[in-house]
Structure 1
């Protein structure tokens, strides 16, 4: 049996197209097998579930719904993986319910990347707008390289596939509360690397998600929480042993806004207020920040300074400062993102790709020089921590 799981919350405008593409992809890839298309919905109120229920498919349809309270993307991913394991699925491909132009061929590409009996996960890569994917580009990518020894172009945020053996391994991993929210992708990738499992990146072309307003700051905090949680299971950062291709496109050569986006003035005020209020503590935990200049969004963090700040965060985590490192780093990421938007204004896509690759490699080198070792496990309990009232 093979399965495609679809993640949804208020995706009524796109869910039918995604379900039909999933169904067609399964039929073309596994024409003689039992196939299942599963909807995992967390509290939709726009008719998403009803749209899926009335969509005609060749495959069997399964639905798992939660009421949305305390749930998120991770809740849906865990529901799909749990049902796939229960049904004995050889492969499960997970797609976002917000895809505008889903391609049935993706099912074949992703499923084939995890074929076989050894645990394997496949991560989709998309060429995105130069101003998108800040959390993946500036946080997870360099930290994955620095602590798990893997150069992955897009370690979080896209479509994914897992085989049955991987699902079995995954079922034994402890999940913090943040892994039930937007921390799920970082938790999956980091655990797979921690266990030495096969991780493959599958290029799927340009980004095709329906854009929607996102709460970038809370999302970043959830991702950092989940990633830090898995990092504390290491004894020390792993040396780089997995290398990416010499050039992997993560920035679209064609799709780009004409000018950098602007952080809303209210957000700039909040970031500046946070940096001012916690200045002493930021300097104590992130000593590399002392030489950086003030900016309208708090602090200007150029590319050459970011690896040292990430290494400071890893060092703080190793010293037992989980919450302080997490919350301060999430704010600093917003500052790095705003700085990056202006750094790349005159660069073409290939030079931006090169900058991001070097940023990850420099972070790995900087962390390795620190000779960091991790001590005790941190039992994460999701909260807004220092961000309360920000």
Structure 2
């Protein structure tokens, strides 16, 4: 039997012998992957080495044919049939180092794209953040070196410049590098800076988009960022630093929906500034914490009550702030008065 996809994921091969065929560089990912799954891996770099592997072949559960361009491996399908061993065909690892930025989406593994999964499966090293599908990185990138470079509010254990230096250094060593981020690499993910660093080093770099929390997290509680007859536009802004007066004036006057990421710490300044610049104090607003987790909750109130409501609920990052009439879409806004924090529950709205 011949398959065209590697054994990845939760498959465990402890106690099994796997024979990997291909040059050392081309087969490096396959060797790392099957070893990470517990297999006893034997390698053949050139076809002539197979003759010496008869003892291993007699015990092998799997033969892996890596496409290293050598036509001498053409005998492997016949050998597998003769030995009654499954044969798996795999692409060669890249000859030169590469960098791929992968948007991990808002957190649930099912929302990571197929392209993102493929990139992780082929990675030699993964630099990952604290958001996104971090709980299963080892499963998605079996055998890869995993390096946590995640940032928390007010604490960057690995400065951005250092992250870029590490990525470039790994790729210059010939490794396939994946930079895994929550959401999308280019929505406040500093993906542009990382692309620039790779280009400056002469490295090939690609980006795989991800689902951004600015749209997906509000959607989990029935808040569409646009809605016919309610909002025909939305603005996504970073609340990491307080907005300037000019920015607040434009946000208040633009209309539509305002989505603020990383905006819990600066929420008092944001709300006060928007109201000061003419936004209706009774505008519906929400703070949605820990999107796509078992402890997700939303705190909903009129804009002029939102800061008090968020304080009483002890709202904390990560959170998405949504301001606009769309917050009332799909909700009974007449019942959403000044909120007093309710107990958090699985994707549960906190209302009063």
**TM-score (normalised: structure 1):** 0.24
**TM-score (normalised: structure 2):** 0.26
Q: Which has the higher contact order (CA 8 A, sep 6+)?
A: 1
- Which structure has the larger Rg over C-alpha atoms? 2
